C-alpha cells in the first residue's frame, strides 16, 4: 500500500488559487439565509422607513414569529432524528379547539385545561412516534393520516367555533404584555427556544438525537435506543404544536377548527431555511429561528409595502421550495467537502 | 505480448479509492472463447477490475479495447453494447417478472402498432434458452425459480444480447454439486461456441479444473498468469498470499489466560443458512480471530453476538450468565460492542467531530452532575483528548470533523469509543480494511491496548497475514461451521488458508 497524508484533505496548499465556485457555494450554504434576512430588512426599511422599521412594527413581527417559531422548533427535533411530522399544523388546530372547549364546555379551570391540552398534544406526538418506530409506517403516511383524523375528531367535538365562556385571564396569556411592553408570546418563544437548544446541544439525549439523524446504523451499534430517541422527538413536536395551539386560541379569543393548519407549511419552510444557515444542511434550533424571522419579515414587509394579498401564498410556496433547495445544496456541499 | 486472438485487452488499468490503490497498472488479455479464471484474496482488486469492465466504476487511467475498438469507460450501456455481460452473485433479476421478461429487460423489443410484440421479441430469447438447455417454461416467474434456474436466466439474458464475454462472480457459491456440474458443461459449450467466460471464484479446485488460463491478483496487482496445468493448488495459494509460510517466530505472542471463565461462550448457535451450529469461547484479554472466506458466516455470527439479529438455535453466555440481547442497545448495555466492517456507513457520524464520535457511547459518564442529563463540556473534552493521545489518533484537534481523518485514524477513534465505554467484549469486523500498512500496525496496537485492559476481543479478518500477526488464537469458519482452530505456533497463513478451503478432517491427500 502507498503512503498517504494522514489527515486526508489537509493537503490543499495556500498557494492554490481560490476556487470561487466552491467558496460561493460554501458562503451561500452557510450565510445565504442571514444575508437574505438582512437584505429584506434593508429593502423594506428603505421602502417604508417610518412604518416598517418602527418599534411597534418590529414587535409586531416578533409577535407573529413567535407562534411559528414554537411549532417549528418542535418540528426541528423530528428532522434532527431523520424523520418528519406533517401533523403539527393539525395538532395546533386541534389543541386550539380542545383547550377552549375544556374551559367552555367542560368548565375546567384555565390551568387544568392548558395542562390537559399540552398532555394531549404530547400524547399525539407519542402516537406518531409509535406508528413510525414500532409499527414502522413511513412518517409521511402516519403523521398525515393522524393529522387528517384530528380534523374529523375536532369537527365532531365542536362543529362551530367556540367563542363563548372563555375567561379573560386566558386571552390575556397571549394578548398581555408583562415586560417592557413586549407581547407575551415572544417570551414563550424565547423560553421554548432556549430549552430546546439546551436539550439538543448540552444533554445526552440531544447528542443521541444528532447521532440518530446523522447515521442511524452507527447510532444503533453505539448502543443508542434509536426508537426511544425518535419517540422523544415526536413527543416534543407534539408538545410544541399544542403550546402553539393554546397560545393561538388565547390570541384569537376563540377556538376555531383549522385555525392552525397553516403553521405546517410555515414551520417546514422555516426549518429548511434554518438547515441552510450556519451549518451545512443540519437542522438546528438557531437556524430555525432565522428561518421563522425570514418568513415573518417577508409577510409583514409585503403587507406594509402594499403587495396584493394573493402575493402571500406565492411568497410562502416560493420560500418553501427555495428553502428545501438551499438545504439540499448545503448538504451536497457538505458531502463534497 | 499481445495475444493473437484477443477479444478483450486491458492495458495499464489503475484505480484508487480515497488514496488507496485498488488496482494498479493491470494488463489482461482475454482470448475469444477461453474460460479465464480470476482469483485473489478478498480486496485484491477482482471486483474493481470487473466493475471497471462493466462501466460501473471509472478507472483513473488505462485502456480497455474490445475487438480492437476502444471501450468508452464509465458507461454501463457502452460496456453492454460492446458485448460484455456480467452476472453478479446477487443476480439482478426482477422477481415478479417472468424469465422471458427478465431476459428481455432493457433490450430493444419489436413493436407492433406501438405496442410490444412479445412473440417476435422473444425469438432470440427462446433460441438462447434452447442453446443452454432451459427446460422450464420461460413464462415462469423468476420468484418461483431455484437459484440454479435463475443463473440460467441470467446466462440466457446475456446470450439474448449476443454477449461475446460473460463475467461470472462466484457462480457456484449457492449451487449444489450437480447444479454446478450442469453450469460447467454450459460454460464449456459456450466456450467452444466462441463465447469467452471470465470466471471469478474462491473455489480453487473449480478454477484449476475449468479454466484455460488463470490470472492471480494481489494487492491490486496482477502477480501471475498461468495456463492450465502449469499451476497446482499449492502454487495457486502461494500466488494468492504472495509468499511462503511466515515463520512462527515472526509472530508476537500474547499470553492470555484461558483458565478462568470465558467472557463470551457461544454454544451451537445457528441462523438461517449462514451459521450452522457454531460453538466457541472468548477469554478476557484474549484476541480471538475468526478466519475464513467471505460468505463463511463470520459477519453473521458477529451480528448475532452483537444483538443485530437473534439466533434461530443455540445460546450465548456472557461472563457465565445467559446473554440474549434483543437489540444492539441491549448488547452495548451489557458491554458487548461491534465495530462494523462498513466503517463509514455504519460506524461513524461523519458530519460530527472526532470528540463527538469518541464520546457518543459513554455520555452517561460525562455528565456535569450524575443523575442530571447535562453534559460537561470539560469532561467530554478531557476524555476525547486523553484517548486521542493514548491511541495516537492523528488529528489537528478533537473538534475536527471525523470525515477529514484517514481511514486508520477513523478506525482508532471507533476503538477509542469502546475503550471509553468500558465494554467487556468487542467484535471488530475487518478492522484494517482499506488502510495502509502503517495504519494497520497502529490499529493493531490499539486492539492490543484494549486486550491489555482485559477486554475480550473477537476479530474478523479476511487478511490472512493480519490474523497471523494479531491473533492469540484463530478459529477458521467455512460455510457456516467451524472448520478448525489454531493456537500458538500453529497460526500460519498457510494453515488458515487451508482450513478456509477444507475442514480440518477434510478430504484425504488435499492438505497443502
DSSP assignment of B398-458? TTSBGGGS-HHHHHHHHHHHHHHHT-SEEEEESTTTT--HHHHHHHHHHHHHHHHTT-EEE
Q: Which residue has the higher pLDDT, B239 or B313?
A: B313
**A139 vs A162: CA distance, rounded Å:** 32
User: Pairing mode, if any, of strands B35-40 and B213-218?
Assistant: parallel
Is the C-alpha dihedral spanning B296, B299, B302, B306 positive or negative? Answer: negative
CATH number for the domain that contains residue A139: 1.10.3470
Same domain? For B176 and B127 the reply is yes
Length of chain B: 512
Task: Provide the residue range defining the domain that includes A211.
Answer: 34-336
Burial of B242 (0-12, 13-18, 19+ CB in 10 A): middle
What is the crossing angle of helices A20-47 and A285-304, to 10°?
A: 40
Is residue A313 predicted with pLDDT exceeding 90? no
Contacts of B352 in chain A (CB under 8 A): 210-211, 214
The string of pLDDT tens digits covering residues B318-353 is 988 999 999 999 999 999 999 988 787 888 988 889
Residues B114 and B188 in one domain: yes
Domain range for residue B498? 262-335+423-512
Which chain A residues contact residue B346 at CB under 8 A?
215, 217-218, 221
Size of interface A-B (CB pairs under 8 A): 115
Give residues with Cβ within 8 angstroms of B36, minimum separation 6: B30, B196, B197, B198, B199, B211, B212, B213, B214, B215
Cα separation, A6 vs A242, in Å, equals: 51
pLDDT at res. A260: 87
| Number of domains chain A is built from | 1
* Closest CB to A217 among B345, B403, B409: B345
pLDDT exceeds 90 at position A119:
yes
- Whether residues A214 and B352 touch (CB distance < 8 A) is answered with yes
Residues B437, B412 within the same domain: no
pLDDT in tens, B82-92: 889 888 877 77
User: In the predicted model, what is the mean pLDDT of residues A266-294?
Assistant: 88
Taking all residues of chain A, what is their mean pLDDT, rounded to a whole number?
Answer: 86
- Strands (E) located in chain A: none
**Residue B244: how many other CB atoms lie within 10 Å:** 10
In this predicted structure, what is the pLDDT of residue A4?
38
Q: How far is B394 from chain A (nearest CA, A)?
A: 7
Q: Express as a percent the part of chain A with pLDDT over 90.
A: 42
Q: Is residue B396 part of a domain?
A: yes
pLDDT band at A8 (very low <50, low <70, confident <90, very high): very low
**Rounded Cα gap, residues A69 and A75, in angstroms:** 10
Domain boundary among B422, B455, B487: B422
Domain-located, residue B248? no
Three-class secondary structure of residue B168 per DSSP:
strand
Contacts of B436 in chain A (CB under 8 A): 1-4
Pairwise CB contact (< 8 Å): A1 & B437: yes
* pLDDT greater than 90 at residue B510: no
pLDDT tens digit sequence for B357-366: 999 999 888 8
Q: Which of A223, A226, A283, A332 would best serve as a mutation to test chain B binding (most B beta carbons within 10 A)?
A: A223
Largest CA distance in chain B: 80
d(CA B467, CA B19): 24
For residue A220, the distance in angstroms to the closest alpha carbon of chain B comes to 6
Q: Which residues contact B440 (CB under 8 A, 6 or more apart)?
A: B408, B432, B466
Residue B241 · residue B66 · CB < 8 Å: no
Query: Quick one: CA torsion of A207, A209, A215, A220, rounded to 10 degrees?
Result: 90
Average pLDDT for B196-219:
88
Are B185 and B132 in contact by the 8 Å Cβ rule? The answer is no
Tens of pLDDT, residues A199-257? 998 898 999 999 999 888 889 888 899 999 999 999 999 999 999 999 999 998 888 88
Residue B172 lies in a domain: yes
| A137 pLDDT higher than 70 | yes
Residue B259 has pLDDT above 50, yes or no: yes
Is there a domain that residue A15 lies in? no
Q: Please report whether residue B380 resides in a domain.
A: yes
| Better-scored residue on pLDDT, B429 or B509 | B429
CA distance linking residue B108 with residue B434, whole number of Å = 41
Mutate to test the interface with B, among A204, A218, A327 (most CBs of B within 10 A): A218
Band the pLDDT of A11: cuts 50, 70, 90: very low
Q: Is residue B356 part of a domain?
A: yes
Most confident of A48-57, A95-104, A168-177, B138-147: A95-104
Question: Is residue A145 domain-resident?
Answer: yes
Same domain, yes or no: B430 and B418: no
How many percent of chain B have pLDDT more than 70? Answer: 92
B229 found inside a domain: yes
Note the pLDDT tens digit of each residue in A51-81: 888 888 888 899 889 999 999 999 999 999 9
Amino acid at each position: 500500500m502507498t503512503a498517504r497524508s494522514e489527515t486526508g484533505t489537509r493537503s490543499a496548499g495556500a498557494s492554490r488559487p481560490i476556487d470561487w465556485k466552491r467558496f460561493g457555494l460554501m458562503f451561500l450554504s452557510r450565510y445565504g439565509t442571514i444575508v437574505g434576512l438582512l437584505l429584506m430588512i434593508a429593502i423594506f426599511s428603505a421602502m417604508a422607513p417610518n412604518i416598517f422599521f418602527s418599534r411597534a412594527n418590529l414587535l409586531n413581527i416578533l409577535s407573529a414569529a413567535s407562534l411559528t417559531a414554537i411549532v417549528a422548533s418542535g418540528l426541528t427535533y423530528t428532522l434532527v432524528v431523520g424523520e418528519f411530522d406533517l401533523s403539527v399544523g393539525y395538532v395546533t388546530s386541534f389543541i386550539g379547539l380542545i383547550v377552549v372547549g375544556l374551559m367552555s364546555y367542560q368548565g375546567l379551570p384555565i390551568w387544568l385545561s392548558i395542562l390537559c391540552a399540552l398532555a394531549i398534544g404530547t400524547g399525539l406526538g407519542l402516537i406518531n412516534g409509535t406508528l413510525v418506530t414500532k409499527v414502522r409506517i413511513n412518517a409521511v403516511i402516519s403523521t398525515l393520516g393522524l393529522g387528517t383524523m384530528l380534523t374529523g375528531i375536532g369537527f365532531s367535538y365542536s362543529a362551530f367555533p367556540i367563542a363563548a365562556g372563555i375567561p379573560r385571564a386566558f386571552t390575556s396569556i397571549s394578548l398581555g404584555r408583562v415586560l417592557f411592553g413586549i407581547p407575551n408570546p415572544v417570551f414563550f418563544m424565547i423560553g421554548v427556544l432556549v430549552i430546546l437548544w439546551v436539550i439538543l446541544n448540552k444533554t445526552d439525549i440531544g447528542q443521541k438525537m444528532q447521532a440518530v439523524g446523522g447515521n442511524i446504523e452507527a447510532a444503533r451499534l453505539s448502543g443508542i435506543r434509536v426508537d426511544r430517541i425518535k419517540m422523544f422527538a415526536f413527543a416534543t413536536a407534539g408538545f410544541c404544536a399544542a403550546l402553539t395551539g393554546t397560545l393561538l386560541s388565547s390570541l384569537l379569543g376563540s377556538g376555531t377548527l383549522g385555525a392552525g393548519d397553516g403553521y405546517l407549511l410555515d414551520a417546514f419552510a422555516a426549518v429548511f431555511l434554518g438547515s441552510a444557515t450556519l451549518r451545512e444542511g443540519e437542522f438546528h434550533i438557531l437556524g430555525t429561528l432565522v428561518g421563522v424571522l425570514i418568513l415573518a419579515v417577508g409577510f409583514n414587509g409585503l403587507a406594509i409595502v402594499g403587495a396584493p394579498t394573493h402575493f402571500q401564498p406565492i411568497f410562502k410556496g416560493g420560500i418553501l421550495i427555495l428553502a428545501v433547495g438551499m438545504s439540499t445544496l448545503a448538504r451536497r456541499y457538505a458531502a463534497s467537502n | 505480448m499481445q495475444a493473437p486472438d484477443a477479444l478483450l485487452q486491458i492495458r495499464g488499468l489503475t484505480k484508487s479509492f480515497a488514496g488507496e490503490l485498488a488496482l494498479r497498472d493491470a494488463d489482461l488479455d482475454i482470448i475469444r472463447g477461453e474460460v479465464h479464471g480470476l482469483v485473489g484474496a478478498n480486496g485484491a482488486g477482482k471486483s474493481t477490475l470487473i466493475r471497471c469492465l462493466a462501466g460501473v466504476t471509472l478507472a483513473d487511467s488505462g485502456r480497455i479495447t474490445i475487438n480492437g475498438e476502444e471501450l468508452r469507460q464509465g458507461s454501463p450501456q457502452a460496456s453492454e453494447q460492446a458485448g460484455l455481460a456480467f452476472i453478479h452473485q446477487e443476480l439482478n433479476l426482477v422477481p415478479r417478472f417472468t424469465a422471458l421478461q427478465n431476459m428481455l429487460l432493457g433490450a430493444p423489443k419489436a413493436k407492433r402498432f406501438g405496442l410490444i410484440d412479445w412473440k417476435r421479441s422473444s425469438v432470440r430469447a427462446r433460441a438462447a434458452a434452447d442453446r443452454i438447455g432451459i427446460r422450464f417454461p420461460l413464462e415462469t416467474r423468476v420468484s418461483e425459480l431455484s437459484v440454479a434456474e435463475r443463473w440460467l436466466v441470467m446466462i440466457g439474458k446475456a446470450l439474448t444480447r449476443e454477449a461475446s464475454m460473460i463475467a461470472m462472480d462466484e457462480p457456484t457459491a449457492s449451487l449444489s454439486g450437480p447444479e454446478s456440474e450442469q453450469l460447467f458443461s454450459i460454460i464449456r459449450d459456450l466456450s467452444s461456441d466462441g463465447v469467452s467466460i471470465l470466471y471469478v471464484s474462491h473455489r480453487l479446485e473449480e478454477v484449476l479444473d475449468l479454466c484455460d488460463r488463470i490470472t492471480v491478483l494481489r494487492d491490486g496487482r496482477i502477480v501471475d498468469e498461468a495456463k492450465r496445468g502449469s499451476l497446482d493448488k499449492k502454487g495457486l495459494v502461494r500466488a494468492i498470499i504472495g509468499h511462503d509460510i511466515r515463520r512462527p517466530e515472526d509472530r508476537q505472542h500474547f499470553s492470555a489466560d484461558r483458565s478462568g471463565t470465558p467472557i463470551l461462550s457461544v454454544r451451537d448457535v445457528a441462523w438461517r443458512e449462514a451459521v450452522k451450529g457454531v460453538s466457541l469461547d472468548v477469554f478476557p484479554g484474549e484476541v480471538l480471530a475468526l478466519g475464513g472466506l467471505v460468505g463463511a458466516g463470520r459477519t453473521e455470527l458477529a451480528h448475532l453476538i452483537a444483538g443485530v439479529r437473534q439466533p434461530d438455535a443455540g445460546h450465548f453466555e456472557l461472563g457465565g450468565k445467559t446473554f440474549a440481547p434483543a437489540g444492539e442497545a441491549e448488547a452495548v448495555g451489557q458491554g458487548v460492542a461491534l465495530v462494523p466492517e462498513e466503517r463509514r456507513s455504519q460506524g461513524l457520524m461523519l458530519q460530527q467531530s472526532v470528540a463527538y464520535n469518541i464520546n457518543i457511547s459513554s455520555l452517561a459518564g460525562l455528565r456535569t452532575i450524575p443523575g442530571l442529563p447535562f453534559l460537561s463540556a470539560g469532561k467530554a473534552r478531557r476524555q476525547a483528548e486523553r484517548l486521542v493521545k493514548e491511541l495516537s489518533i492523528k488529528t489537528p484537534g478533537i473538534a475536527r470533523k471525523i470525515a477529514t481523518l484517514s481511514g486508520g485514524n477513523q478506525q482508532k477513534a471507533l476503538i477509542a469509543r469502546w475503550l471509553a465505554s468500558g465494554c467487556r467484549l468487542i467484535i471488530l469486523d475487518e478492522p484494517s480494511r482499506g488502510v495502509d500498512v502503517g495504519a494497520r500496525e497502529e490499529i493493531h496496537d490499539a486492539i492490543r491496548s484494549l486486550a491489555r485492559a482485559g477486554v475480550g476481543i473477537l476479530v474478523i479478518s479476511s487478511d490472512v497475514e493480519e490474523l497471523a500477526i494479531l491473533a492469540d488464537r484463530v478459529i477458521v469458519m467455512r460455510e457456516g461451521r467451524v472448520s478448525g482452530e489454531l493456537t500458538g505456533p500453529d497460526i500460519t497463513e498457510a494453515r488458515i488458508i487451508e482450513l478456509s478451503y477444507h475442514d480440518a478432517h477434510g478430504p484425504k491427500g488435499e492438505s497443502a
